[in-house]
């Protein structure tokens, strides 16, 4: 139940040529406490509830528990979420033995494109495509829970 992932800004549109699938995601947060977040998500035609713990010092690993729920349940829970719904298109790209998920944010986070790669351990090697830019792992500004409170378009 420990998630280990690294996050990167995306510096080029080239990732689109490598996309194998793209899915619309809408999500909100029932709780964004620093020790834990509780997320409600609709990803395509599926619903989920996810609990994430506080990240470790490196920002690479944290507890994550996720359970599938019906879309109807997710739609009923979204209005109970804190202010600031996240909308994005998730592009899935095979990169060596890993899957890179590129999130192209919409709405108040338009212009932000982040790539995430889940790893088996913090030291695991992975293929790094040229379009991966600056690493932002552990930078809380790029956590979805924080983007729901302080959207990317309001950073300036």
Summarize pLDDT for 85-116 with one digit per residue, the tens. 999 999 999 999 999 999 999 999 999 999 99
Question: Reduced to 3 states, what is the DSSP secondary structure of residue 85?
Answer: coil
DSSP H/E element including 50: strand 46-53
CA 101/CA 98 separation, integer angstroms: 10
pLDDT recorded at residue 121: 93
Q: For residue 156, is pLDDT > 90? A: no
Q: Nearest Cα to 121, choosing from 26, 27, 4, 32?
A: 4
User: Which is it for strands 86-95 and 21-33: parallel, antiparallel or unpaired?
Assistant: antiparallel
Q: Nearest Cα to 117, choosing from 131, 134, 137?
A: 137
CA 2/CA 94 separation, integer angstroms: 22
CA 81/CA 1 separation, integer angstroms: 24
Domain boundaries, the chain: 2-154
pTM over 0.85: yes
CATH number for the region 2-154 comes to 2.40.320.10
DSSP H/E element including 48: strand 46-53
Q: For residue 1, is pLDDT > 90? A: no
Summarize pLDDT for 129-151 with one digit per residue, the tens. 999 999 999 999 999 999 999 99
């Amino acid at each position: 139940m420990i998630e280990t992932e690294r996050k990167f800004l995306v510096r080029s549109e080239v990732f689109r040529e490598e996309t194998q699938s793209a899915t619309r995601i809408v999500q909100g947060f029932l709780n964004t406490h620093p020790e834990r977040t509780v997320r409600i998500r609709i990803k395509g035609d599926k619903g989920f509830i996810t609990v994430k713990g506080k990240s470790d010092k490196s920002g690479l690993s944290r507890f994550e528990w996720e359970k599938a729920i019906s879309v109807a349940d997710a739609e009923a829970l979204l209005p109970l979420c804190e202010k600031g719904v996240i909308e994005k298109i998730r592009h899935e790209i095979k990169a060596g033995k890993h899957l890179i998920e590129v999130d192209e944010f919409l709405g108040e986070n338009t212009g932000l494109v982040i790539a995430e790669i889940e790893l088996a351990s913090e030291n695991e090697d992975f293929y790094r495509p040229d379009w991966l830019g600056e690493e932002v792992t552990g930078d809380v500004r790029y956590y979805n829970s924080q983007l729901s409170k302080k959207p990317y378009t309001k950073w300036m």
